[in-house]
């Protein structure tokens, strides 16, 4: 069945409020780990992940960094206007370029209290130990669900990423129903976060520690990194009756050519995505390669993945190796070392994974595209997985426990 015809009511479960983890555990890798393989479920903790993964496996992590994307401005009247930075204006090639802008930048934002904000420029003064920074925000347009905001600041030595770090707050998921605290700056960030751009953490990676990495190294379990900047759309619930009427959010990805070459070297080994963002990224690489095989002269501007591409493109005999080789050849021809593009891929029941053999992920909200993704690996057993987690006191959502789900083989 085409995923367009999936009914979202089939992906509902009862999640009591007290099962949502409001805070993380003190020790990252002490979080519980559910292991699903060949229809069987066991449990352990993340600190012992190495015992559940074969040597020579390749773990793929998302090294995006959460930015302090929530900005509060106070008007002279006392009204507070909240700006939530979603993604850069269309004039920037990618998020990294926009984050490095100095002095001014345009950004697409959600605006809390928009009716109280007319045409005046908002100003925010921020005092740090080293300096005082004045940040200005001006509305320059409205587009569908967001506003286009022109930001400017008086210290042109600072990048926008640095300004957000000084003036903004960590954008915790709305379902936590609490304001960010000082500890969240460190705990709502993976230990390997590198590139500024996400407004939500790749939460599966929050459980990893240097000690766990050493255990994985000792067993010759490899790791590599992609970058997918997580947007606020990751929290967008499916409100339509069928998936056909749900618009999947678009996210920006950055992938090095060396990473794609590394995937090729590990196609006969278990490739395990750490997080749904990593999974969407590596699966998108296959479809980018398919598009190149279909149209070898496709431009960088045209090379991206739309929501239903993975179901509507006739791939014929294009296997994973052939697709990845085509992508590398296309990058070599254009002297591209790092691919910057976007993906809107939706992974749902009916999708057969092309690259990954397993997924490490947290427990997700009912009626979410992330739950559909889990069901693409485990089919109807997603219900068994979630029933087990609920019955065995697993903690849910961003700060909760997680799972290692091995792909169910098609009959």
Locate all alpha helices (DSSP H) within 178-318, ordered by sequence: 184-187, 210-218, 257-265, 276-294, 309-312
CATH superfamily of 3-65+192-406: QueA-like (3.40.1780.10)
What is residue 241's three-state secondary structure?
A: coil
Sign of the CA dihedral running 7, 11, 13, 16: negative
> Is 60 within 8 Å of 274 (Cβ atoms)?
yes
> Is pTM, for the whole model, over 0.75?
yes
Who contacts 200 (Cβ-Cβ below 8 Å, separation ≥6)?
66, 171, 173, 230, 231, 232, 234, 235, 398
What tokens were used for 241? 């009756």
Show the 3-state SS of 90-148: CCCCCHHHHHCCECEEEEEEEEECHHHCCCCCEEEEEECCCCEEEEEEEEEEEECCEEE
Instruction: Choose among 276, 270, 271: nearest CA to 259.
Output: 271
- Give, for all 411 residues of the chain, the pLDDT tens digit: 789 999 999 999 999 999 999 999 999 999 999 999 999 999 999 999 999 999 999 999 999 999 999 999 998 888 899 999 988 999 998 898 999 999 999 999 999 988 889 888 999 998 877 778 999 999 999 887 789 999 999 999 999 999 999 999 999 998 898 988 989 999 999 999 999 999 899 999 999 999 999 999 999 999 999 999 988 777 677 889 999 999 888 889 999 999 999 999 999 999 999 999 999 999 999 999 999 999 999 999 999 999 999 999 999 999 999 999 999 999 999 999 999 999 999 999 999 999 999 999 999 999 999 999 999 999 999 999 999 999 999 999 999 999 999 998 754
The full set of domain ranges for the chain reads: 3-65+192-406, 69-168
Who contacts 46 (Cβ-Cβ below 8 Å, separation ≥6)?
28, 29, 30, 31, 32, 33, 207, 208, 212, 402
DSSP structure class, residue 68: -
Give percent helix, percent strand, percent coil of the chain, each to the nearest 5: 30, 30, 40
């Amino acid at each position: 069945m085409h995923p367009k015809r999936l009914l979202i009511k089939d992906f509902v479960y009862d999640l009591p409020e007290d099962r949502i983890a409001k805070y993380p555990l003190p020790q990252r890798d002490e979080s519980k780990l559910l292991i699903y393989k060949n229809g069987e479920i066991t449990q352990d903790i993340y600190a012992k992940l190495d015992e559940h993964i074969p040597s020579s496996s390749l773990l793929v992590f998302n090294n995006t960094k959460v930015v302090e994307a929530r900005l509060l401005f106070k008007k002279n009247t006392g009204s507070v206007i909240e700006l939530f930075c979603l993604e850069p204006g269309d004039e920037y090639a990618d998020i990294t370029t926009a984050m490095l802008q100095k002095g001014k930048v345009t950004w697409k934002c959600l605006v809390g209290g928009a009716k109280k904000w007319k045409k005046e420029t908002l100003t925010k003064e921020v005092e740090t130990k080293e300096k005082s920074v004045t940040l200005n925000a001006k509305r320059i347009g409205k587009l569908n669900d967001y506003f286009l905001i022109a930001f400017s600041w008086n210290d042109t030595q600072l990048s926008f990423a640095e300004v957000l770090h000084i003036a903004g707050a960590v954008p915790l998921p709305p379902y936590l129903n609490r304001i960010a605290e000082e500890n969240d700056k460190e705990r709502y960030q993976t230990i390997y976060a590198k590139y500024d751009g996400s407004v939500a953490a790749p939460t599966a990676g929050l459980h990893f520690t240097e000690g766990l990495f050493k255990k994985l190294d000792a067993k010759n379990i490899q790791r590599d990194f992609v970058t997918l900047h997580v947007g606020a759309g990751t929290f967008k619930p499916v409100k339509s009756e069928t998936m056909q009427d749900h618009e999947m959010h678009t996210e920006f990805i950055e992938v090095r050519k060396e990473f794609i070459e590394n995937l090729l070297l590990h196609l006969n080994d278990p490739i395990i995505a750490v997080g749904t963002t990593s999974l969407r990224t590596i699966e998108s690489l296959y479809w980018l390669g398919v598009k190149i095989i279909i149209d070898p002269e496709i431009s960088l501007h045209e090379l991206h993945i739309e929501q239903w591409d993975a179901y509507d493109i006739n791939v014929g005999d294009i296997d994973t190796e052939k697709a990845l080789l085509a992508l590398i050849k296309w990058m070599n021809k254009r002297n591209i070392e790092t691919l910057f593009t976007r993906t809107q891929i939706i992974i749902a029941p009916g999708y057969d994974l092309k690259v990954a053999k397993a997924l490490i992920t947290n427990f997700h909200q009912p009626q979410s595209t992330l739950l559909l993704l889990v069901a693409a690996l485990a089919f109807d057993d997603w219900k068994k997985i979630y029933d087990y987690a609920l019955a065995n006191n697993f903690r849910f959502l961003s700060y909760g426990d997680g799972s290692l789900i091995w792909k169910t083989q098609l009959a």
